[in-house]
Amino acid sequence: MAQRNSSYRAKNAGIDTAWRTVNPGPIVMLYGPEEYFASRARTRLRQLFGQHFGDYDYVQLNAASYTRGELLMNASPSLFGSAKIISVDNAGSMSDDFLEDMLSYAAAPESDIMVIIQHSGGNRGKKLIDLVRSRFTLISCKALKNDREKTEFIVQEFHAADRRITQGAVQLLAVATADTAELASACAQLMADIPGEITEEGVNRYYGGRTEVNAFRVADAAIAGQAAQALRLLRHSLATGTEPIPLLGALAMRIRNIARVYGVRGSGAELASSTGMAPWQVDQAKREGRRFSAEQLAAIISNLADADAQLKGEGADPVYALERAVLAIAVPGRD
């Protein structure tokens, strides 16, 4: 487990981070459902545009309720010739009038105007999407889909700030929330309040009361074979209000990761894509899997399924079922 606590920085991350580095241009489309990435890109674009032009006018249009001529009217040169940003929302539901006017404007955009189009995804206005992708700037704002992408995002946040964080701390943060904006806020808060390297202790200090983090800690101890510690953490979590089902879910997730790579040849980098895990998660699951035989792993999975059924109403004592599942992982083959 020592390797989990080593610091590391972003390496060949798979998620698209162009929103971090986007530069102003005549037309920029922020394409995808993740509002946080779009917001970060828009803030950067406005800052850089202002640095270049100084004062500028700011106009907001709604592509869904747009009527013919609005864009062309706002993009017409003004008497005083001030620079302008035209921000367009709801392009995922754009009207036909907007599509027609935007395609017309794109043929000869003004040099001192930047049009920022936010499109939530999908094929509405495909001709415009393809045009922006080929001739202007299209920034992907995809949502983070899985644990691998969440951990990559966290690492990149710390890398961008030139700060170090341990792998264990990254894992705790990744399970603390599924919301990208909240995840970014957590990273910023930790960096602001804790000097030097961010460790699991630091994350626990701020987020140790969260159900997801408590579940992670129970699972971590059980997987490591620390039966007494796992049971202590389990009972403390339950006594302080943590729900049993998320705890069981954390256990099941870790075992599923082990099962995905158990007996499979290949490095973390080679298996990451096919498993939906980060390379270091693959390597960790392989290391943790060495504690178990194939028969023990099958028995644990069966035990987890039985505990799930009991937690959802089939058993009279769900806490006992959860403790039994924790012990099945911490002390395999004990029955």
Percent of the chain at pLDDT above 90? 47
Q: Who has greater pLDDT, 147 or 304? A: 304
pLDDT at residue 4 greater than cutoff 60? no
Q: Is the pTM of this model over 0.85?
A: no
- Segment 105-162, tens digit of pLDDT: 999 999 999 999 999 999 999 999 999 999 999 999 999 887 788 889 999 999 999 9
Contact status, residue 7 vs residue 165, Cβ threshold 8 Å: yes
Q: Within a 10 A sphere around the Cβ of 73, how many other Cβ atoms?
A: 10
- pLDDT of the residue at 10: 42
- Segment 41-68, tens digit of pLDDT: 999 999 999 999 999 999 999 999 999 9
Nearest alpha carbon to residue 194 among 161, 220, 217: 161
One-character DSSP codes across 15-38: S--HHHH----SEEEEESS-HHHH
Give the separation between CA 106 and CA 34, rounded to whole angstroms.
25
